[in-house]
Amino acid sequence: MLIYLRVLKESLAFAINALRNNKLRTLLSLLGVTIGIFSIIGVLAAVDSLKQEIKGSLSSLDNNTIILMRFSFGPTDIPQWKREQFPDVTYEEYQYIKRNVPDVEAASFSLNVGAESIKYDDKLVTGVNIAPVTDGYYNIEALKLAEGRFFNESESNSGSNVLVLGSEIADGLFGSFDPIGKQVRLLGQRFTVIGVLEKEGSSFIGPSKDGVAVLPVNVVRRIYGSNNKSAFPQITIKPKDGVDIAEFNAILEQRLRQLRGLRPEETNTFFINQLSGLTDFIDNITGTMSTIGGFIGLFSLLVGGFGIANIMFVSVKERTNLIGIQKALGAKNRFILLQFLFESVILATIGGLIGLTLVWIIAQVMSQFTGDFEFVLSATNVIFGLSSSIIIGLIAGIVPAFMASRLDPVEAIRTGM
């Protein structure tokens, strides 16, 4: 055992010395592997960061949450011309679902409208995202309040002129003053601020709640009218924990079809979009991106491997005389083999480390410029990058190392002379 350890140690020392004596050649050999590892790990890190950001944006919602609307989250067999004829979901359908569909923990009817301006005294905040919703929105989104309260069912049903502000909007209008009870002007009417949401940070999916104003949907319905096509509605439903989701969806579909008077042979005129389906769709997209990026990086890495193999062949040719002398002095074939294998693996590993370092530096710089979006270089990607480097080094060096180990010492010395 000690003999093998000594052989490994001496082989490693020979390899490091050879690399140190040929700095330019070593540098050129590193470039291919560095670019390859940088490409692969850079893509994987970007995709992982994107996936983490998307899932973080959806983390407040239960995966079983259902969004009922006339649009589909994913691909559908229904042609576009037919989908465009689907009616919007209505407030009356929302009320019907609350009364007639069992195992509903919370439900909310909301309208998607454009940004507006909010004014308080002489201060004006523009581009505010308006969220007209019913009271069930608070439980579905698992909202957290920094101050005040959320509007209740009575205020929601009557369409009271109250609203809850995101932290950025509250800071822009009131600064360090307490906003609770203050009146602001929005949509040509006065609203009383009853709550302020906790700071959330940027959101990859949809607008951040920091820049939102949440108000009872019936206020906006009263202003916009029920048939305004610029404010398309949706019904969000959160089933109770432990409910059979397939059965719940079947009951929901059957009740809504019944309410709309659809015959058995007619297709649904609505889509039951489940959040878990959206996350699966996102996983498929990011998985495809990882695969494509991995293949592109793999080709770069293979080019780097060919570069290392080429340099190793040159190295064997240059050191033929030395190999002959080593073998004449008693060096075994395995010693020569390990010597060149170590040299190849060390080259590839150093190239991989440089590539990983570049990814890490760029990730840190990008995180500084993108605010709350954080680029992540995970331990899994680091291990994968280093493993890939070692494997490429072994593959690129095995043939030159085997050729060197099989040289006849007499012929090797004569050739070198």
Q: How far apart are CA 107 and CA 134, in angstroms?
A: 8
**Exposed (0-12), middle (13-18) or buried (19+): which is 20, by Cβ within 10 Å?**
exposed
Mean pLDDT of 125-132: 89
- Eight-state DSSP code of residue 211: G
Beta strands in 96-211 (DSSP E): 104-112, 116-120, 123-133, 145-148, 162-165, 183-186, 189-197
As a dihedral over the C-alpha atoms of residue 303, residue 309, residue 314, residue 315, rounded to 10 degrees, the angle is 130
Predicted local confidence at residue 84, as pLDDT: 84
Residue 120 has pLDDT above 60, yes or no: yes
Helices 275-318 and 333-369 sit at what angle, rounded to 10 degrees? 140
Residue 4 has pLDDT above 60, yes or no: no
Q: How far apart are CA 177 and CA 7, in angstroms?
A: 75
Residue 305 has pLDDT above 80, yes or no: no
* Per-residue pLDDT tens digits for 340-381: 777 778 778 888 888 888 888 887 787 776 655 567 777 777
Helix H or strand E encompassing 259: helix 245-260
The percent of residues in the chain predicted with pLDDT above 90, rounded, is 22
User: Strands of 271-274's sheet, edge to edge?
Assistant: 104-112, 232-239, 66-69, 271-274
CA angle 130, 134, 138 (to 5 degrees): 85
Question: What's the pLDDT band for 148 if we cut at 50, 70, 90?
Answer: very high
| Domain limits, the chain | 2-57+281-416, 87-269
Extract the tokens encoding 260: 């709309």
Residue 293 has pLDDT above 80, yes or no: no
Predicted local confidence at residue 218, as pLDDT: 92
* Per-residue pLDDT tens digits for 384-395: 888 888 888 888
Helices 245-260 and 91-100 sit at what angle, rounded to 10 degrees? 130
Q: How far apart are CA 33 and CA 19, in angstroms?
A: 16
The answer to whether the pTM exceeds 0.75 is no
